[in-house]
């Protein structure tokens, strides 16, 4: 029998952030997810892949956590994290033991307020994304899916690849990602 979920509580903070809380009584793990209503569909001309690029950069240094430190800290505390970008949203999530979940909020708050976007890290991560695009191009099912979406959604933002076109990414620096 599946565990019974507790009620969902929805609050809107003074800064406009909407918070949804849902309990699973007896769970030893707390998962936090931060979802921005911004994805590929929101990118203008020449900005293709900016949302996905920014997703990558959220792990590359902030005021109190250097490049890679968010992942190291998460692992050291026995947790996990990840992120994804779609046409509609960009999401970040952490799972920690119930006695450590506040650490996810500390990490998210720091990168929300103080993302660094160091030019050297931007250049390095651009290469990672270009390699990611090459992997999609080399995988027949991924290449087919992108071609079908481009054709089906011709002229609509859903027809654009989430990773962005190479030429847009090559022209994107720290300020464009910001």
| CA 17/CA 175 separation, integer angstroms | 25
pLDDT at 24: 87
Say how far apart CA 26 and CA 109 lie, in whole Å: 27
Active site residues: 55
- DSSP secondary structure of 141-178: HHHHHHHHHHHHTTTSGGGS-TT--HHHHHH--HHHH-
The Cα–Cα gap between 80 and 107 comes to 13
- State the Cα–Cα distance between residues 172 and 49, nearest whole angstrom: 9
Distance CA 57, CA 35 (A): 16
| Residue 112, pLDDT above cutoff 80 | yes
CA gap 33, 83 in Å, rounded: 9
Token digits of residue 3? 């565990």
> Which among 65, 160, 163, 89 has a CA at the least distance from the CA of 172?
163
> 107, 96 in Cβ contact below 8 A?
no
The predicted model scores a pTM of 0.91
- Residue 54 has a pLDDT of 97
Task: Write the pLDDT tens digit of every residue in 68-108.
Answer: 999 999 999 999 999 999 999 999 999 999 999 999 999 99
As a whole number of angstroms, the distance between CA 8 and CA 23 comes to 7
**Model confidence over 90-99: pLDDT tens digits?**
999 999 999 9
């Amino acid at each position: 029998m599946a565990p019974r979920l507790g009620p969902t509580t929805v609050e809107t903070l003074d800064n406009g952030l909407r918070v949804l809380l849902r309990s699973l009584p007896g769970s030893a793990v707390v998962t936090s997810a931060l979802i921005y209503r911004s994805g590929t569909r929101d990118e203008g001309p020449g900005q293709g892949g900016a949302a996905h690029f920014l997703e990558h950069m959220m792990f590359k240094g902030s005021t109190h956590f250097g490049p890679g430190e968010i992942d190291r800290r998460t692992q050291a505390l026995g947790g996990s994290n990840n992120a994804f970008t779609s046409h509609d949203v960009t999401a970040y999530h952490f799972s920690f033991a119930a006695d450590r979940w506040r650490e996810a909020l500390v990490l998210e708050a720091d990168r929300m307020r103080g993302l660094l976007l160091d030019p050297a890290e931007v250049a390095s991560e651009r290469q990672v994304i270009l390699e990611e695009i090459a992997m999609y191009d080399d995988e027949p099912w991924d290449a087919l899916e992108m071609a079908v979406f481009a054709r089906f959604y011709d002229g609509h933002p859903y027809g654009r690849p989430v990773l962005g076109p190479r030429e847009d990414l090559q022209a994107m620096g720290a300020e464009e990602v910001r």
